[in-house]
Structures are given as structure tokens and as C-alpha cells.
Amino acid sequence: MKMTNAVKLTVAAMTATFGLAITAAAQDAAGTLPPVSTKQGVTYATDIKTILDASCAKCHSGDKPKARLKLDTLEGVLKGSKGGKILTPGDSANSLIVKSAAHLTPDQETWMPPLKNKAGIKPLTPEQIGLIRAWIDQGAK
């Protein structure tokens, strides 16, 4: 779950006004990755391509993909971008594609899809991110 600044301010105001005790976990809800899906046998072709096609391929495919990152093929995803690899098979928690999709990178410019995008593409759901995590942890095949 992503906690916006408005929500954080509301929580802070309620805490000050009503003396509510807020746990560190609740305050840091925006700083955690969604859990890995329990689905086994996750593959790019059967599970991940549809997510990336719907949310990423508009900008990251074709002859001039943004950041030279092509997400419309398994080969493109594994190759990475002009900045390097975006995932390490077996390590979803430290993969840039996961952190960017979960909006957990320090630079909002790397959040994908961007919060304000012309196509109106919504952020990935925690379930979609969890499935991407399972795919990466299972070897990114």
C-alpha cells in the first residue's frame, strides 16, 4: 500500500489531535515491497508479458523505447536499459524493475509507470508486483 503525503499529514494530524499511537510499520507503509506471489511456475510468456504490455510497452517498445528499455520481449527485459540491467534473476527485492513499479526508488523520475503520464496508465497493483517478484525469484524465464 502506498501512503501519499496527504495521508501522512492526516495521520500526523490525527495523532497530534487525538493522541493516537501509530506504529512504525503503519508510518512506513510506503517503504515496503508487496509480498512475493505464491504462484509457482511463473513465466514471462504466460504471466508477465500481459502486465508489461498493458502498463509499460506503450513507452518501452518499438524502434525508440524510452531509456532504450524494451519490455515487450523477454530478451529486452533481461538486456535492461541504457543504464544497465533492471533485474537480477533470483533477487526480486533488489531489482530495479520491482522498486520502480512499487514506487520505492528515491528518484520519482524512475517510478513506473510515471504518476503523471499522458496515457493515463495506473500504477501496478501489489498483486501484479508480487507476481513480477515471483517471476524474478523463480529465475526470470
The model's confidence at residue 9, banded by pLDDT at 50, 70 and 90, is very low
Residue keyed to cell 487525538? 18
Three-state DSSP at 81 gives: strand
Residue 68 · residue 59 · CB < 8 Å: no
Q: At residue 122, what is the residue type?
A: K
Query: Which of residues 119 and 21 earns the better pLDDT score?
Result: 119
Element (H, E) at 24: helix 24-27
How confident is the model over 104-137, as pLDDT tens digits? 999 998 999 998 888 899 999 999 999 999 999 9
The mean pLDDT of 23-37, rounded to a whole number, is 60
End-to-end CA distance of the chain: 27
Is 20 or 103 the better-scoring residue by pLDDT? 103
The full set of domain ranges for the chain reads 1-32, 33-137
Q: What is the CA angle 50-34-12, rounded to 5? A: 130
Q: One-letter amino acid identity for 127? A: E
User: Among 139, 51, 126, which residue's Cα sits nearest to residue 95?
Assistant: 139
Cβ count near 105 (within 10 Å) = 15
